Chain A
Amino acid sequence: MPSVLVLSGWAFIPLALTFYFAFLSYNLQDPENTGWAGLSNFYYFFKDPFFVKDLINTIVLVVGVIVTTVVGGVFLALLLDQKFWGRGIVRLLVIAPFFIMPTVSSLVWKNLIMHPVFGLTAEIQRFFGEHQPFDWFGRAPLFSVGLIVAWQWLPYAALILLTALQSLDEEQKDAAQMDGANAVNYFWHIVLPHLARPITVVILIETIFILNVFAEIKVTSVGGFAGNLTYLVFSQLNDANDVGMAAAGGLVAVVLANIVSALLVRFVGKNLEA
């Protein structure tokens, strides 16, 4: 019993405080103005010129990364499920990106790979005779952030799906062969439905984490163009010092997370389980 109290307090108190702050006038630059704010924090958060853009960015980032990692993850898992020499080591290497801190990997991508002057992609483009290499973060900031995030989450998706593939009964494959299914039929009618459940798990987990992507945006300094709601909450707090508005934004993000993941899971469930 005491542990239940501690645990629920642990989870509940920050949420409750956020909820409380969201209805207060609480701006560190305006300490005179206190007291209840009613819904005005929410009102101004929604009215913020960045809100709509950042909301769209958030959704594009979440959906884009999920689609990329699930599709890529299925292919990667199918490849890793084959028998080949050195499979154990390759599997270990594949999971590696997942263990690198987002801040670190963002720095690596930003400065070593995608940098318009010193980056690997710039080198390659120059090698092929391009004098003005593509400026990833300047020209396609949201895509670039998405690329970094997808790179981090692809291993996770692949690993979960690989585990699921390995639990697929071998006799199903034999039966499908006897029934005249070719490789594509087998994948479509047997393998993919078998992966429906793990795919929903991947989607749920990724939704929760990718809604909160922050380090990648902050480190690559694209917040003004490719900021998401998490970044907007941060800038309310950091640039405008408005605790009340930040709390309201945080709550909006929580509600949004639930709606998005519920929709995605339902969509996948309908299409694969049937």
Chain B
Amino acid sequence: MGSITLEHVNKSFGTHQVIPDVNLTIEDGDFVVFVGPSGCGKSTLLRLIAGLEDTSSGRILLDGQDMTDAGPAKRGLAMVFQSYALYPHMNVYNNIAFPLKMAKLDKATIDAKVKDAARILNLTEYLERKPRQLSGGQRQRVAIGRAIVREPIAFLFDEPLSNLDAALRVNMRLEISELHQQLKTTMVYVTHDQVEAMTMADKIVVLNAGRVEQFGTPMELYRTPANRFVAGFIGSPRMNFVDGAEATKYGVHAIGVRPEHITLSTTEGAWAGEVGVAEHLGSDTFLHVTCGPLGTLTVRAEGEKPLSHGDKVWLTPQPGRIYRFDKDGRTLAAA
């Protein structure tokens, strides 16, 4: 129980239109990630679903029921904020218990639910602490605890990991995915990080300037991006784009090749170039190759490739892996 439907949702702040016209259906139980560059309206869209902002026009349905004009508490959703938004003067126990107290549950029920959530999230030892006495990851878990005790029909996350350091981020990513497996509740997760989107999502919504560019599974977006924006946004390192004369050979405005779909040779190939920066990651090496009029292309090579600055190389795009774009950036049939 937790499908979310947006019909012609539009949002303006004064005269500034942030969300032009969004239509979207999120199925019950899905883990859906909204991804897009900073300022594209991800948080706004999430806050519209939460009821923290009013729509300028359009309808929001939860489980098929029109909730467009319902207040945040009435919608049965829970949200985890970027800053965690814990109540600083309450200890962990009271933070998690707060929504239950507001719902006027009796003390024994509240106690059982809080203890249960604390156990799931490994917070049992910290129940007496104030938020400022916790690490970033623990605060994050308290925020999640406060969300799960309400047993919402869907969880909303707004960039919940962006304040954590890299190692912790990977951990929490796994924990949230694990939580989704356990609870099987709908989750809507906002991030600007396409790696988070690819690794966590059942389905990804790519947003650009408030518009939905594409909605699909991570692999659909990777294999068949609808346009140049999605092609460039999904995948790391990002797709190489080439326009001008070389693209005309393929009969289009621009072509794109992912770094992992280029064959590298030191003797022959389609495009000649010179190695610039070589990033050795161990498992992979990313070479930034300057190819004359084509510009600088990124190539993935095997990890221990002994190439370095100034070496001459040849690049060949793999057949069937070349994306073609018309002058509006739409994807045409692959070459």
Contacts and interface: CB of A to CB of B under 8 A. Distances in A.
The answer to whether A and B interact is yes
Interface stretch (B72-80, B181-189, B284-292): B72-80
B99 A177 contact: no
A179 B50 contact: no
Interface in A122-181: 169, 171-172, 174-181
Given A171-B83, A185-B102, A189-B98, A178 B78 contact: yes
A260 interface: no
Interface stretch (A47-55, A190-198, A206-214, A228-236): A190-198
Contacts of A178: 50, 52, 72-73, 77-79, 99
A177 B71 contact: yes
Nearest to B47: A174
B89 interface: yes
By size class, the interface of chain B is: 20 to 34
Interface residues of A, number: 18
A179 B146 contact: yes
Nearest to A185: B102
A215 to B, nearest CB: 39
A179 B104 CA distance: 12
B81 A174 contact: yes
Interface string B135-146: 000000000001
A185 to B, nearest CB: 6
A180 B73 contact: yes
B102 A180 contact: yes
B89 A179 contact: no
Contact of B85 (A175, A181, A273): A175
A177 B150 CA distance: 13
B87 A180 contact: no
A186 to B, nearest CB: 10
A194 B102 contact: no
B245 interface: no
B89 A273 contact: yes
Nearest to B99: A179
A175 B89 contact: no
A169 B79 contact: no
Nearest to A186: B102
Contacts of B79: 174-175, 178
B28 to A, nearest CB: 20
Contacts of B81: 171, 174-175
Contact of B89 (A181, A185, A193): A193
Contacts of B82: 171
B102 A179 contact: yes
Interface of A: 169, 171-172, 174-181, 185, 189-190, 193-194, 196, 273
21 contacts: A169-B83, A169-B85, A171-B83, A172-B85, A172-B87, A175-B79, A175-B85, A175-B87, A177-B52, A177-B71, A178-B50, A178-B52, A179-B99, A179-B102, A179-B146, A180-B103, A185-B102, A189-B87, A189-B98, A193-B89, A193-B90
Given A169-B83, A178-B72, 20 more contacts: A171-B81, A171-B83, A174-B47, A174-B50, A174-B79, A175-B87, A176-B87, A177-B52, A177-B73, A178-B50, A178-B73, A178-B77, A179-B73, A179-B98, A180-B99, A180-B102, A181-B102, A185-B102, A190-B87, A196-B89
